[in-house]
Structure 1
């Protein structure tokens, strides 16, 4: 008797499943098709990004390895193109190559390229902060106080690992301009930071004790 009931229950379940599949056949096919299309598109996009990354990598390596004074204009054009591709790896490297080799002299043009990387390129947060710091370093010798602070404020007002570097740059900026009270304030901020680069903190302490102790 129990076996008969079990068979009936099993047949009933199977019948319900068949009915469900028949009644929802079109919906199920649509769902399967959407899933297949989604997975295919995701794979294709991932493959496209990988190929684009490889192309950019090859272009960067070729242009930097073959760079010479005779190819300067072509080098600059190609590196600027890579920067405008907004690649998280090779756009910053292209800008650093331009700066290190003094391929573009115009400071405004360099700052515009920095902005493409900082504002438009998808970057890890601390990599972005590092590039902000490098922009500040690039401008430090000629920038006005307000301009330099505007560049560094995203770091100064954050908990970034680059915060102490930003504070130190401002402290040395004011010290070089003989604005010792402002310089002292920034050095003291470094000392009071809970998380501060140990080397930066040591240099700040030395500066305060040696030159700003009065």
Structure 2
């Protein structure tokens, strides 16, 4: 009797399963098609991004290896194009090459390139802060006080690993303007940062002892 009951229960269960698949055939088929489409789209997108990265890499390498005084304009145009392709690796590298080789001398245009990278490129937070610091460094000699402070605000108002470097740049800026009290305040801030670069803390202390001890 128990064996017959078990057989009946098994048959009933199998019938329910069969009926479920029959009754929901279209739904299940649609679900499978959607899953396949998602997987296909994902892998196609990954392949596209990989090919795009390779294309950008080739463009950068070609531009810098073929660079000479005779083709500065061609190199500049190619690298500016790369900056606006918003690649996390090659957009910053392109800008640095432009600056190092003076392919663009206008500060306004260089700052536009900096701003595009800072605002439009998907970057690790500290990489972005490094680029902000480099922008401030580039502008330090010609900036007004409020301009320099505004550029560096995302770093100085955070716990960034670049905070000490930013404060040191500001302190040196004020010292160069003979605003010693302001300079002293920023050097003192460096010393109070727990995770500050030890070399910078030592240099800040030297500055305070040697030049700002009055």
**Is TM (by shorter chain) over 0.5?**
yes
Match of 2:148 in 1: 148
Are residues 1:99 and 2:99 paired? Answer: yes
Provide, for residues 84-135 of structure 1, a one-character-per-residue CA deviation record: whole Å limited to 9, x for no partner: 0000000000000000001100000000000110000111111101000000
CA distance in 2, matches of 1:4, 1:195: 76
CA drift of 1:160 comes to 0.7
Structure 1 segment 68-79 matched on structure 2, within 5 A: 68-79=68-79
CA distance in 2, matches of 1:125, 1:143: 25
Match of 2:129 in 1: 129
CA distance in 1, matches of 2:13, 2:204: 77
Structure 1 segment 12-161 matched on structure 2, within 5 A: 12-161=12-161
Q: Which consecutive unaligned segments of at least 5 residues does structure 2 have? A: none
CA distance in 2, matches of 1:185, 1:13: 80
CA distance in 2, matches of 1:200, 1:2: 84
CA distance in 2, matches of 1:130, 1:4: 76
Equivalences, count: 214
Please provide the CA RMSD for this pair: 0.8
Match of 2:178 in 1: 178
CA distance in 2, matches of 1:2, 1:149: 85
Match of 1:189 in 2: 189
Match of 1:212 in 2: 212
CA distance in 2, matches of 1:7, 1:87: 64
Indicate the SS of the match to 1:70.
helix
Match of 2:7 in 1: 7
CA distance in 1, matches of 2:59, 2:93: 12
TM-score if structure 2 supplies the norm length? 0.98
CA drift of 1:9 comes to 2.0
Q: Which consecutive aligned stretches of 4+ in structure 1 deviate over 6 angstroms post-superposition?
A: none
CA distance in 1, matches of 2:99, 2:47: 32
CA distance in 2, matches of 1:110, 1:122: 19
